[in-house]
Amino acid sequence: MVGVVDDHSQFHTHTDRVGICLVSSEDCDSTSGVFCGDDRHSGFIAIPLFPGAMKQVIIIRKDLNMRKGKMIAQGAHASVLAVLWYLWHPFTWWWICTKFTKIAVSVDTEHELLEAFGAAYRQLPRSLVRDAGKTEFHGRGTWTAVAIGPGPNKSIDKITGNLKLL
């Protein structure tokens, strides 16, 4: 059950159900994003409404000359891992409940890929994919893709805004 509320008096819940409630930031503990003690939201996880659009950017290494299917698979791995690892992060739920925007971009080196991943540290949900090398890369594990976000467009653009679309 997912509920979006603007007016708490219009919100109804059952204590035997668990869901997400998006509330205004005034109703949340600013450090945790968790609703502060109102039993009208019993059984719900409250997350603040975030201003602005959200997205996830998937970064693929072009220097590896991966087949198109391999690139898609590696990008999908990165996207899903970022969402699963940060499933309870407020940015993830806001993104899932809104437009679910994904953008695919590329880098030309492993260094650029790892640099983007590192720039998101402690700021945004992120994931880094290392292919095992069973079908490509001659049996060597290889860093292939990164997902940055979900997160606010402005925050992600600071990291990925200069990268070329894939």
The domain that holds 85 is classified in CATH as 3.40.1490.10
- Cβ–Cβ under 8 Å, residues 74 and 131: yes
> Does one domain contain both 14 and 44?
yes
> Does one domain contain both 77 and 129?
yes
What element of type H or E holds 145? strand 142-152
Structure tokens at 133: 């090398």
> Does one domain contain both 74 and 121?
yes
> Does one domain contain both 18 and 100?
no
For residue 95, give the amino acid letter.
W
Report pLDDT for 49.
53
> Does one domain contain both 80 and 144?
yes
Q: Give the domain range for residue 139.
A: 54-165
Number of domains in the chain: 2
Report pLDDT for 158.
96
In the chain, the largest separation of any two C-alpha atoms, in whole Å, equals 61
100-134 confidence digits (pLDDT tens): 899 999 999 999 999 999 999 988 999 999 999 98
> Does one domain contain both 73 and 105?
yes
Give dist(CA 76, CA 70) in Å, integer: 10
